[in-house]
């Protein structure tokens, strides 16, 4: 027997088993309708769960992209200071993040597909449940035992098949979501620990990392100082002149640089 017909036979026998449960056929209809409504709300919850997972992955992608941008900026600063070694270090870390990001994006696409499938399943089930409800009321209104049994069988088997299908779809979506949540949880922990979010804290004992950090904060200080000088200068033309010479001015005023350095660090997240 063909595979297609074997699968449909299995579905049919399941639907028939469900049909045998109540003695009064009208009770069977109500019982089945209740189960349909339960299944519908389960699908809705399923759609919401998948959407939650998808948003979580989206948030993680945003966070990791922020970290990657930070590393890129650090690499650029390092190069400006002629420290190719530090730039290389920053770019190496950025490329490790890039593979995480592309993994997450693939997961995101998968979750989105799952969400669309479940949403469509929900719409199909909804249409069938509504049509079942109408048919159920008609059958109950015109009830004569012999006639009703046939019509109940017809209505039940069609909806039973849909319910079996939707039930499986929910199960699959739940399995996939559970796998992804486990991975997402691991990445959340990494982000919370600061290892991904702040590159300077991935091996805090690493000399290169500390140097990269201190050099970028020095550069920040110089830029900040130049800006402050520009702002506090009473006349605009002086401010424009002051900015490019910031380095020299700093060299002449080491004490001032340190004090600004402290406030600047405090101000950083």
Partner 1 sequence: MIIRILGEGQYDVADHALERLNELDAALEAAVEAGDEAAFATALSGLLEGVRTVGVAHPADSLDESDLILPYADATIDQVRQLLSDDGLIPG
DSSP state of 200: G
Output the smallest distance, CB 143 to partner 1, in A. Answer: 18
**Could you list the residues that contact partner 1 (CB under 8 A)?**
2-8, 10-15, 17-18, 117, 120-121, 123-124, 127-128, 130-132, 135, 154-155, 157-159, 161, 163-165, 167-169, 171-172
Output the smallest distance, CB 183 to partner 1, in A. Answer: 19
Q: Which is nearer to partner 1, 125 or 226 (CB)?
A: 125
Q: Which is nearer to partner 1, 90 or 163 (CB)?
A: 163
Q: Which is nearer to partner 1, 109 or 168 (CB)?
A: 168
DSSP state of 83: -
DSSP state of 119: H
Q: Are 32 and 156 in contact (CB under 8 A)?
A: yes
Residues ≥6 apart with Cβ < 8 Å to 248 = none
Output the smallest distance, CB 53 to partner 1, in A. Answer: 18
CA dihedral (96, 216, 204, 199) in degrees, to 10, reads -30
Q: Are 39 and 163 in contact (CB under 8 A)?
A: yes
What is the C-alpha separation between 40 and 211, in angstroms, rounded?
A: 59
Q: Residue 213 has which token pair? A: 């950090």
Output the smallest distance, CB 32 to partner 1, in A. Answer: 11
Q: Which is nearer to partner 1, 71 or 170 (CB)?
A: 170
Q: Which is nearer to partner 1, 20 or 207 (CB)?
A: 20
Output the smallest distance, CB 4 to partner 1, in A. Answer: 4
């Amino acid at each position: 027997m063909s595979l297609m017909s074997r699968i449909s036979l299995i579905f049919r026998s399941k639907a028939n088993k469900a049909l045998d449960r109540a003695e009064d056929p009208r009770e069977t209809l109500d019982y089945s309708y209740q189960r349909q409504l339960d299944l519908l709300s389960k699908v809705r919850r399923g759609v919401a769960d998948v959407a939650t997972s998808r948003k979580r992955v989206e948030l993680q992608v945003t966070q990791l992209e922020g970290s990657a941008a930070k590393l890129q900026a650090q690499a650029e600063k390092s190069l400006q200071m002629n420290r190719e070694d530090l730039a290389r270090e920053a770019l190496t870390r950025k490329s490790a993040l890039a593979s995480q990001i592309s993994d997450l994006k693939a997961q995101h696409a998968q979750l989105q597909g799952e969400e669309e499938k479940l949403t469509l399943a929900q719409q199909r089930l909804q249409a069938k449940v509504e049509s079942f409800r109408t048919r159920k009321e008609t059958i109950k209104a015109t009830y004569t035992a012999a006639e009703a049994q046939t019509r109940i069988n017809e209505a039940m088997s069609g909806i039973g098949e849909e319910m079996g299908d939707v039930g499986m779809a929910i199960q699959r979506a739940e399995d996939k979501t559970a796998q992804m949540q486990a991975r997402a949880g691991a990445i959340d922990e990494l982000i919370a620990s600061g290892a991904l979010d702040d590159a300077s804290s991935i091996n805090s004992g690493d000399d290169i990392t500390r140097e990269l950090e201190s050099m970028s904060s020095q550069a920040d200080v110089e830029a900040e100082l130049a800006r402050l000088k520009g702002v506090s200068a009473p006349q605009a033309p002086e401010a424009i002149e002051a900015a490019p010479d910031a380095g020299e001015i700093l060299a002449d005023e080491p004490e001032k640089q340190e004090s600004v350095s402290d406030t600047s660090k405090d101000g950083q997240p």
